[in-house]
Structure 1
Amino acid sequence: MTTRWLTPEEQRAWRAYIAASLLLEDAIDRQLQQDAGMPHLYYSILTTLSEAPERRLRMTDLAERLKITRSRLTYAVTRLEKDGMVRREACRWDKRGSIATLTDEGRTVLEHTAPGHVETVRASLFDHLTEEQVGQLEEICTGVARALQEDTTRPASDEVPWRRRSTPSCS
C-alpha cells in the first residue's frame, strides 16, 4: 500500500485544525472549571439530558449523542450522580440497561453556567467567523462526522466510540 502523504496545503489545514481545536477546548474547559468546577464533558452530559424528553436518556443513547465510549460515560455519570446533578435508574424494558436523568440540582447548575459557556463559545469561535464561514464550518464538520460514522470498512475493533466497550457494563 502506498502512503498518501498530505499536500502542503492539507498539512497546513490539518495543523491549523489541531491548534484551533485544542485551544478552543482549553478555553471552554477553563471557563467551565471556573464557573461550575466541571470539565466540558460533564457540562455536555447535563446539556444533552436537559434537551431530552423528560430530561432522561438511556445510557447507550447518551453515549452515542456525545460520541464517547460507554465506559467513559459511566465514569462521568457516576461523578455527576455523586454531586447530585444526575440520577441513574434501572431501565424498565431492558434489565441490562440504565437511564440517566438530569436532577433539579443539575438543571440549576446548567442554567447558572450556560450564559458564561455561550459567551466563551461565541468569543472563542463565532466572533471570528463570517455568516458564510459559519455555514461552511457546519457543512464541513457534518460531512466529516457523517463519513466517520458511516465508514463500514473499519474492523470491528475500530468501531465508533459509543459502541466500544473496554469492560462489561450495564450501560
Structure 2
Amino acid sequence: MTTRWLTPEEQRAWRAYIAAASLVEDALDRQLQQEAGMPHLYYSILATLSEAPERRLRMTDLAERLKITRSRLTYGVTRLEKDGLVRREDCRWDRRGSVAALTDEGYRVLERAAPGHVETVRSLLFDRLNPEQVRQLEEIFTAIGAGFQGEGPHATAEDVPWRRRSGKPCP
C-alpha cells in the first residue's frame, strides 16, 4: 500500500486546524474555569441536558450528542452529581440504562455561565469570520462528522467514541 502523503496545502490546512482547535479549546476551558469553576466538558453536559425534553437524556444518548466515550461521560456526570448539578435516574424504559437529569441548581449555574461562554465563543471564532466563512465552516465540519458516522461520499464508518467500551466486560 502506498502512503498518500499530504500535499503542502493539505499540510498547512491540517496544522492550522490543529493549532486553532487547541487554542480555542484551551481558551474555552480557561474562561469557564475562571468564571464558572468548571471545564468545558462539564458546561457541555449541562448545556446539552438543558436542551433535552424535560432536561433529561439517557446516558448513551448524551455521550453520542457530546461525541465522547461513555466512561468519560460517566466521570463528568459523577462530578456534576456531587455538586448537585445533575442527578442520575433509572431508565424507565430500559433497566440496563440510566438517565442524566439536569437539576434546578444545574440549570441556574448554566444560566450564569452561558453569557460569558457565548461571548468567548463569539470573540474567538465568529467575530473573526464573515458570513460566508461561517457557512463554509459548518459545511466542512458537518461533512467530516458525517464521514465518521458512515454517511456521505467519503464515509469510513469509523469507530465512534460513544460506542467504545472501556475496561473489562461484565461477566
Structure 1 residue 92: deviation in Å? 1.5
Task: Select the structure with the greater relative contact order (CA < 8 A; seq sep ≥ 6).
Answer: 1
Equivalent pairs, count: 167
TM-score, L = length of structure 2: 0.94
> What percentage of residue pairs aligned between the two structures are identical?
77
Aligned residue identity for 1:66: L
- Partner deviation per Cα, 1:49-77 (whole Å, 9 max, x = no partner): 00000000000000000000001100100
Mapped to 2, the partners of 1:153 and 1:37 lie a distance apart of 38
Match of 1:18 in 2: 18
Match of 1:27 in 2: 27
3-state SS, counterpart of residue 78 of structure 1: helix
Aligned residue identity for 2:12: R
Closer, same or farther in 2 for the Cα pair 1:129/1:146, shift >3 Å? Answer: same
Segments ≥4 residues shifted beyond 4 Å: 151-154
2:3 matches 1:3:
yes
- Give the 5 Å matches for 1:42-121: 42-121=42-121
3-state SS, counterpart of residue 149 of structure 2: helix
Structure 1 residue 169: deviation in Å? 8.4
CA RMSD of aligned residues (A): 1.6
Segments of 5+ residues of structure 1 without an aligned counterpart are none
Structure 1 residue 167: deviation in Å? 2.8
TM-score, L = length of structure 1: 0.94
Segments of 5+ residues of structure 2 without an aligned counterpart are none
Aligned residue identity for 2:17: Y
Contact 1:70/1:164 (8 A) holds in 2: yes
